[in-house]
Amino acid sequence: MQQPEPQSFDRVLSSMCTEPHPAAREAAERFLATNPGDPATYEAVASLEERAIELLATLADHPSPTDAAGYVTSGGTEANVQAVRSARNRHDANDVNVVVPESGHFSFHKAAEMLGVELRTVPVDDDHRTRADAVAAAVDTSTALVVGVAGSTEYGRVDPIPALAEIAHDAGALMHVDAAWGGFVLPFTDGEWSFGDAAVDTLTIDPHKFGQAPVPAGGLLARDAAALDALAVDTPYLETRSQATLTGTRSGAGVAGAVAAMEVLWPDGYRDAVERAGDNAEWLAAALADRGYDVVEPSLPLVAARLPESEFDALREAGWKVSRTANGELRVVCMPHVTRSSLQAFVADLDRIRD
Ligand code: 0PR
């Protein structure tokens, strides 16, 4: 039987996945049959995973990257679920709550449901950033975790992380930053989001998004080992005695691909990709504004704009993989595979549709 072709990236404008770097693709293939879930057997991939954590910690400006804890997850969802689980396990109260902005990814809803914690959703301001006063009003002595987003899924906004971390710690809670998408973009901006800027306890940062690593490669990072210790369960018949990860068998391809991508691209390759993506986002935002659309000014390379439903549908019809925010705006994520010429073709199609 003929194999189906995977989706070409040519017209993909709404995905947070991208074309993996060739070196990452090659490394992933070599490690396809390895399992970092059994580090005593698959030693090479286990040391690659240590390297991955050190590189991710460097990106996230950890004061001492070799002391950071963490592991390569299946994606941002697993990292967020585990951050909630770790905070719940470390908190004294029985009925804990987690404070999450309404801009938080839906993975926190999954976490809350599975882990039996109360999710307290707090509003964002007019610029889609979490309101620190709303977080301050929501926390109490049963709050195990405060979540801030650094690069939100819908608008690419960065929350006031230092202020949120202070509120969290004053309340006796831990601070988690979801930089699943933004983590590979923000090192090249002046935003305060990292271990170095604030007292962040755990952080989600995904190589398989802007990191140009193959799927599956997410990242959970922790300031120190305590966060992972709170997740460990005994593994009596393995050579290693405990396991902190959510899944058992894991993707060695994801680990090897992530390390290869980071070694090739950090920092200059990522800086170039971020600059190009930022220029593209500015260009698209201006092109849409010129045509009279209401545009949400991009801060990271993600553009949202209000388009009539008929035009949105016609763009989908023309083969453009675009999506909408919960508010109904067109959303374009300027990932590394999105070129200026494909955006020009997109705008040309839009002009045709408007005629
Ligand atoms: N945190 C943030 C801030 C995210 O944007 C996402 C995913 C996650 C966590 C969860 O990550 P995983 O999907 O790796 O578990 N954001 C994208 C979204 O929901 C995921 C995505 C990726 C969707 C590629 C479509 C797509 O083609 O839009």
207 CA to middle of ligand 1, Å? Answer: 12
Confirm or reject: Cβ of 76 under 6 Å from ligand 1: yes
**61-62-64-69 Cα dihedral, nearest 10 degrees:** -140
Give residue 44's pLDDT band: very low, low, confident or very high (50, 70, 90).
very high
153 CA to middle of ligand 1, Å? Answer: 7
Give residue 60's pLDDT band: very low, low, confident or very high (50, 70, 90).
very high
- Provide ipTM, 2 decimals: 0.98
pLDDT of residue 317: 98
**Is the pLDDT at 102 greater than 90, yes or no?**
yes
pLDDT of residue 241: 87
pLDDT of residue 240: 83
Give residue 312's pLDDT band: very low, low, confident or very high (50, 70, 90).
very high
pLDDT of residue 126: 98
Architecture in CATH of 268-354: Alpha-Beta Complex (3.90)
**Is the pLDDT at 238 greater than 90, yes or no?**
no
Is beta strand 294-296 parallel, antiparallel or unpaired with respect to 302-306?
antiparallel
pLDDT digits (tens, 9 = 90+) for 7-38: 899 999 999 999 999 999 999 999 999 999 99
Give the nearest ligand 1 atom to 151 CA. 3
Architecture in CATH of 22-265: 3-Layer(aba) Sandwich (3.40)
324 CA to middle of ligand 1, Å? Answer: 14
31 CA to middle of ligand 1, Å? Answer: 24
228, 20 in Cβ contact below 8 A? no
Closest residue by Cα to residue 111 from 136, 139, 137, 79? 79
Confirm or reject: Cβ of 143 under 6 Å from ligand 1: no
The residue contributing the CA closest to ligand 1 atom 26 is 15
Q: CA 172 to CA 99: how far, in whole Å?
A: 13
Distance set, CA 96 to CA 130, 169, 246 (Å):
21, 15, 20
pLDDT digits (tens, 9 = 90+) for 243-298: 999 999 999 999 999 999 999 999 999 999 999 999 999 999 999 999 999 999 99
Q: CA 146 to CA 139: how far, in whole Å?
A: 8
pLDDT of residue 236: 87
The domains of the chain are located at 22-265, 268-354
22-265 and 268-354: identical CATH topology: no
Confirm or reject: Cβ of 104 under 6 Å from ligand 1: no
Confirm or reject: Cβ of 252 under 6 Å from ligand 1: no
Confirm or reject: Cβ of 206 under 6 Å from ligand 1: yes
- Residue 83 has φ and ψ, to the nearest 5°, of -65, -40
177, 192 in Cβ contact below 8 A? no
Confirm or reject: Cβ of 153 under 6 Å from ligand 1: yes
Give residue 108's pLDDT band: very low, low, confident or very high (50, 70, 90).
very high
When the pLDDT of each residue in the chain is averaged and rounded to a whole number, the result is 97
Instruction: Name the residue type at position 213.
Output: A
Q: CA 258 to CA 27: how far, in whole Å?
A: 9
240 CA to middle of ligand 1, Å? Answer: 32
- How many C-beta neighbours within 10 Å does residue 247 have? 12
Give the nearest ligand 1 atom to 77 CA. 15
Local structure of 224: helix, strand or coil: coil
pLDDT of residue 237: 83
Q: Measure CA 93 to chain center.
A: 29
pLDDT of residue 31: 98
Q: Measure CA 198 to chain center.
A: 18
Strands of 174-178's sheet in order across: 69-73, 218-222, 202-204, 174-178, 143-149, 97-101, 118-122
